[in-house]
Structure 1
Amino acid sequence: MKNLLFLVFISLTAYANEGAVKPADRPAKKIKNLTVMTYNIHHCNPPSAGTKIDVEAIANVIKKEKPDFVALQEVDVNTERSGKGLNQARELARLTGMNFFFSKAIDHQGGDYGVAVLSRFPILDSTRFALPVDATVGGEPRTLAAVTVEIAKGKKIIFASTHLDLKEANRLSQSELIVRHFAKSSLPLILGGDFNALADSKVIRFLDENFVRSCQDCAPTIPVKNPNRAIDFILFKPESAFKTVSTTVIDEQYASDHLPVIVKLQVK
């Protein structure tokens, strides 16, 4: 498939492991449950606040839920609109006391724009890769950020964040690449993201064949006022690794234009 010529795998560690690492982050002998969030943060710009950047508002939403992992989308690093010198991924990690990894998708206003991961656990390894965009279709370059962590002694998992394109043709090829890439791994995987696709779309149906979605009748995540569609999901594999305890969409209408999703997983 010629659009895969766009694919470039790049290991990127410069943005990893710069969040706070506390003694409590050390892996326990056993862990029963994980709390996972996915959140499109709209570059920390509350839609009702004009051009204001409010990183603390996003951090407060995260801190209230006390997640072990957060998949972030629409993250600015050193852009003009968010303030040169402001790495939103790093700042959110600092404010929440977590570790982070940022994956750039595009150049934007003199800085970088992409997705990120926050982790309560120390990050052992981190990888970014570009997702394909068909030149005949067009679209914005997209990316995926993945980290490997040890959640309990001897028990490693991968946690990843992504944001798929607005065009379905690209979303399909991007989803296919994600499935192929992680098929090679023997580690359990949790993937959070803004998939820009409804539950009955070709993209989500395809992903459902390869992952377990935390909810089937998922509550809507956008718009924040009177939400009417779900496009933000958390998936995992294999089915034998985790069991969904609950999936909740948080009614937080100020900080972003998406509602955050919180999933509690039982570790099998």
Structure 2
Amino acid sequence: MKKILLGILLLCVIPIYAQETVKVITFNVRSFEPDFDTKPYADLLKGEQADFICLNEVENRSSRQQKNGKFRDVVQELALNLHMFGTFGYSYNLSNKQGEYPEANYKYCMNELYGNAILSRYPIMNVISKQLPRPKGSADQRSVIAADVLLPSGKTIRIISTHLDHIGGQLEQAKVITSDEITSSNLPTILTGDMNQGVGSSVINQYLTRYERMDNDNGTYMGVSKIDFIFGSKGQWYLQSCKVLERFLNQKELSDHCPVLSILQLK
């Protein structure tokens, strides 16, 4: 009888333990160029069975992505292919890439969008999307998106996806991301993205004031430079494993960045 009860208890505990181990991918998809077909990206990623997929360089509902004259929500398209929930974070309107016109002009635009996205295996309870500082000398308007997600165990965690500028302003942008507005002091948080800065830089060190590395040092940009990262909020996660995935599918290049996959366990 005691053995039976012990077996029942183990069956109850094991699923909860498993639900607090999450598999996270960060991937700069380069606007799904050149043919804007999301299916190869789904085919590349679906075998990994990730809980969260964080995307950068997401061009959404743009004119050049149209199919049969209709705008496409490629984020939801990819999410549907992977049986996940999806949310998009706006950086700028493609009609105003240089920022010469007031952002207010584009407040209600549904098309020509550019930014980041988060796909989640579990329900998304809340989303924060914020444009980041664009100091003089930086190239593009950047943003960060944070999604609060309810795990099957009943715990809520925060997933963040961002893409910092490739020319300047990265430190100013990182300081906003590590502020209490974006980095929750109450929720275990995972931060991902293309940081356009390497290990040991002031930007990565800024992240390390509130986060710990949850990846490895293997090259991600063209498989050489390490600029795509996964972090976990300090003292709240264990890193089980990390690997850099292929950026090719059937000899076709899907991006100039490799996806990074980490398995994290809540403490």
User: Structure 1 length as normaliser, TM-score?
Assistant: 0.81
Question: 2: CA distance between counterparts of 1:193 and 1:231?
Answer: 8
The CA distance in 1 between the partners of 2:57 and 2:137, in whole Å, is 22
Letter in 2 for 1:69: F
Do residues 219 (structure 1) and 218 (structure 2) align? Answer: yes
2:6 alignment partner in structure 1: none
Cross-structure match for 1:261 = 260
% identical aligned pairs: 31
3-state SS in 1 of match to 2:186 = coil
State the number of aligned residues: 229
One-letter code of the match for 1:105? S
Q: Secondary structure at the match of 2:47?
A: helix
Give 2:124's aligned residue: 123
Cα 1:214–1:153 change in 2 (3 A) is closer
The separation in 2 between residues aligned to 1:146 and 1:234, in whole angstroms, is: 14
- Please state whether the residue corresponding to 1:137 is helix, strand or coil: coil
Q: 1:79-101 deviations in whole A, cap 9, x for unaligned?
A: 12222511111111111000011
RMSD: 1.6
**What residue number does 1:202 align with?**
202
Describe how 1:234-245 pairs up with structure 2 within 5 A.
234-239=230-235, 241-245=236-240
- Point out which structure has higher relative CO (alpha carbons under 8 A, 6+ apart): 1
1:64 to 47, 51, 60: 47
* CA distance in 1: counterparts of 2:259 and 2:20, whole angstroms: 23
Give me the TM-score of the superposition, normalised by structure 2. 0.81
Residues 218 and 230 in structure 1, CA contact (< 8 A), matched pair in contact too = yes
1:159, distance to aligned residue in structure 2 (A): 0.6
| 1:252 alignment partner, one of 228, 240, 247 | 247
Letter in 1 for 2:150: E
Query: Mapping of 1:79-118 within 5 angstroms?
Result: 79-83=62-66, 84-108=70-94, 111-118=112-119
Q: CA deviation at 1:183?
A: 4.8
Partners of 1:54 and 1:255 within 8 A in 2 = no
1:130–1:267 CA distance, 2 compared to 1 (3 A): same
Supply the distance in 2 between the matched residues of 1:177 and 1:53 (Cα, whole angstroms). Answer: 32
The equivalent of 1:33 in structure 2 is 21
Contact kept, 8 Å, 1:245 with 1:265, in 2: the verdict is yes
Are the aligned partners of 1:221 and 1:260 in contact in 2 as well (CA < 8 Å)? yes
Instruction: Single out whichever of 98-107 and 75-84 deviates more from structure 2.
Output: 75-84
Q: Do the aligned residues in 1 keep the contact of 2:237 with 2:266 (CA within 8 Å)? A: yes
Of the two, which has the highest radius of gyration?
A: 2
Structure 2: gaps of 5 or more residues: 1-14, 96-110
